[in-house]
Amino acid sequence: MPNPSPMVLLSQLHDALLGYGSLWTAIAVMVLSIAVPLLIIIGKQAVRHIRAEAFLRLEGGFLAPNQDDTLDPNEALMDPTFDSVRAKYLAQPVAEVDAKGRPLWSMFDRSFGWLTPTILYGFSVVVFGTIVAFFVDRLFVSTWLDVGPGCGASIANCLPVSAQMLLLGLRETSPNFAADLAYAHNTAVMLGFAFAGAYLWCVLYLIRRVNNYDLTPYSFLLCGMRILLALAIALTIRHTIFTNASLSAEVGGETGFATYLAVLVAFLLGFYPAAGLDWIARRGQEFTVKRPHPDTAGLRHTLPLDMIDGITEFVRFRLEELEYEDVQNLATANPVLLYVETPYNILEIIDWIAQAQLILAVGPKKVVELRKMNVRTIFDLARIGDTNHFRRVVLKILIEPDTYSEKHDGMSDEEIQAAFVCMFTSIADDLHVIRLARVWNAFYAVYQKDRLIDVATRGLLTKPQPPAKWMETPVAMPQTMPPKAAE
């Protein structure tokens, strides 16, 4: 018996294992399930190399090495900010021994330390690829619906038990074969759109993880579980709400708005399954023991990035890729890290963060009034306090209670100054503001070496003054009578 040729063996292997009838279909499944995650892993290393090179150029140009053993004040000023970027993108030397001289790493760790993360990445990619390949095959290639002459009069003869559970739910099979088949078909359509939404979300999520340089094996496992969660929620919504949504008018289904809404909802639930979970949670709140406090709705507000000068729609999209999605995220950002991870100028980034810190501290309503006085950043607020007149004007904007505003006009200049220092300290004495002030001062020292060291906050954060006397005066509060005890 002659041995089959390699091409025949490949053809038989293709027909036996895949059975898709088209090599391009098999390639498409492999690309979606395996090639995409592998390319993302490779892209992670490319991003690290590009950003490490950009950081080294910035560090080498800004912090020139000293010729002696003395520490440059500017270098000491910027080291904490640079260290966080250095630790993220540059390979740091690891100690070989502990304080007592004992080795920290075994011979196996030295030789095969790369093996454990490789196995974890490989396992997570295989899990993600298996989930994607299975549902691509079931929903778009082979399908569960294999209708033929052997089905008879019941759809139960055409579908395996697992497919009946997913596509029919609790629906009982009826003599109307076409109606059952249409219901199962439309369930598969909703699952297909939900899978498409979930897969697109996973690709965008993995790309964002690469942009942030925090791609881990957990990321692929999370994506696999996200796809399963989205499909489960889509099935639940299908079998509970859109039971009549159908693409076939002949079987009595609704071909109007409900049908198209079902397809749209399926895709959105795949892309954002938390919306479906929130809906289910709200529907079942009467059965829960703990409920959200009614006053929490007043705190569920967001400050969009485009309220900052210089941040356009394209800039906001680029920042959102790095998960700077609102003003609070940007206000606490590391300017050096943001410079390395984006194409924007370092001084422009510092200005954006300083604007965000002022908005976060005083709120958008007060920022609108402050901008009429050319106060755009939190450091402008410190500079405008150099004169007594502007200190009074700023305090009227920052202090809203009528009880304090009534005493404002009769305060002395010393009390105004103490009140301004106390107010600015309460606003700006945060770690992210202090870090940005150090970066600001370091750059200012480069351009204006003969000026003050603490230009950013005018020294207000280094030596705060005692509060003004008028703030120590007790405020008259409305009196309420205590309830009488039950007799």
Of 306, 321, 394, 312, the closest CA to residue 356 belongs to 306
Asked if 280 and 163 sit in the same domain, the reply is yes
Decide: helix, strand or coil at residue 103.
strand
Give how many domains the chain has, as a whole number: 2
Tokens of 106: 């075994």
- Residue 317 is assigned to a structural domain of this protein: yes
Query: What pLDDT score was predicted for residue 255?
Result: 52
Q: Which long-range contacts (C-beta less than 8 Å, at least 24 apart) are formed by 396-400?
A: 397/366, 397/369, 397/370, 398/362, 398/366, 398/423, 398/427, 399/423
Beta strand extents in 203-353 (DSSP E only): none
- Residue 310 and residue 276 share a domain: no
Whether residue 169 sits in one domain with residue 198: yes
269 and 184, same structural domain? yes
Indicate the residue among 285, 313, 346 that finishes a domain. Answer: 285
Measured CA to CA in angstroms, residue 312 lies from 316, 352, 458 at distances of 6, 12, 31
Specify if 361 maps to a domain. Answer: yes
Distance CA 209, CA 226 (A): 15
CB 195 within 8 A of CB 132: no
Regarding whether 331 and 256 lie in a shared domain, the answer is no
Return the pLDDT at 251. Answer: 45
Q: What's CA 102's distance to the chain center, in Å?
A: 42
Q: Is residue 314 in a domain?
A: yes
Residue 397 near residue 445 (C-beta atoms within 8 A): no
Q: What does the alpha-carbon distance between residue 484 and residue 384 come to, in Å, rounded to a whole number? A: 53
pTM of the model: 0.60
C-beta of residue 310 within 8 angstroms of C-beta of residue 330: no
Pair (327, 455) in one structural domain = yes
Final residue in a domain of this structure, among 285, 317, 337: 285
Residue that terminates a domain, selected from 252, 285, 318: 285
Residue 350: what pLDDT? Answer: 92
pLDDT in tens, the chain (487 residues): 456 565 555 555 555 444 545 555 666 777 777 778 888 888 777 877 777 777 777 776 665 544 444 445 445 445 556 766 776 777 655 556 666 666 656 665 655 556 777 788 888 888 888 888 888 877 777 666 655 444 555 666 666 666 777 777 767 666 666 777 777 778 888 888 999 999 998 888 888 888 777 788 888 888 888 899 888 888 888 888 777 655 544 444 445 566 778 888 888 888 887 766 666 666 655 555 566 677 777 777 888 998 999 998 888 888 887 888 899 999 999 998 888 888 888 889 999 999 999 999 888 888 998 888 888 999 888 888 777 788 888 888 887 655 556 666 667 778 888 888 888 888 878 888 888 888 887 777 766 655 555 666 666 665 545 444 444 444 444 444 444 444 4
Residue 443 belongs to domain spanning = 305-472
Only one residue has tokens 């099979």, namely 173
Cβ 356 vs Cβ 377: under 8 Å = no
